[in-house]
Structure 1
Amino acid sequence: MADDKPDVAWRVIGGLVGLATAWAARKLLGFVWVKATGKEPPIDSESPEVSMAEAIGYAVVMGVGMSVAQIVVNKTAKKRYDAWKALKTPKP
């Protein structure tokens, strides 16, 4: 019977990779936003100083950017983990 649950090591590593990716992507996207617009990212989208277009634009950039970063990093990390695990597992 095949075990469908991921192993504990990958769950821990995957969680840490996810946290690190989210932090780094947020910092990078915030930096790019400042360079592209010349303004700080809108923290409070309900603030009267933030236009609707700016709030929506920032939400789209952050949503797409964070999702792409998570997909790329998680797939790469899983591939590397599986390769490392295959090296550690004795062949029958």
Structure 2
Amino acid sequence: MAKGKSSGSKMWSVFSLVAALGAAAVARKGLDAGWKVATGRKPPQNPADPDVHLWEAVSWAAVTGACVALARMLAQRRAAGYYAKSTGHLPPQLSRDGQ
């Protein structure tokens, strides 16, 4: 692998990770606030706790999982667009499969 590709790959890995972690943190804060407004209670700290109602644990897990995954995906797509605009090509890990 050429040196330019290797450093670009490392740069993309760091850039992608930072974007994903930031998006997940922002999504989680929004979810916590939204859960409080919708239910009037704090979100469950540990959905596996037997003192948490099953409906609440399942709802929290489903909403959190879907929203955090969506936020991470959108952030990584924006990061890939920024990377492509900055370098003139997509990150090495994102091939277009002949598109």
**TM-score > 0.5 by shorter chain:** yes
CA–CA separation in structure 2 for the residues paired with 1:60 and 1:46: 13
Mapped to 1, the partners of 2:12 and 2:26 lie a distance apart of 20
Distance 2:59 2:14 in 1: 34
| Fraction of identical pairs, as percent | 31
Matched, 1:20 2:22: yes
TM-score normalised by L of structure 1:
0.80
2:12 to 7, 10, 19: 10
Tell me, in whole angstroms, the C-alpha distance in 2 between the residues paired with 1:67 and 1:47: 23
Once the two structures are TM-superposed, the CA of residue 83 in structure 1 deviates from its matched residue by: 0.8
User: Which structure 1 residue ranges, 4+ long, deviate > 4 Å from structure 2?
Assistant: none
Equivalent residue number for residue 74 of structure 1: 76
List gaps (5 residues or longer) in structure 1: 88-92
Question: Which residue matches 1:83?
Answer: 85
**Paired position in structure 1 for 2:46:** 44
- After TM superposition, the score normalised by the length of structure 2 is 0.75
Q: State the Cα RMSD in Å.
A: 2.2
- 1:61 aligns with 63
Partner of 1:90: none
- Cα deviation, residue 48, structure 1: 3.9
Cα separation, 1, equivalents of 2:16 and 2:74: 13
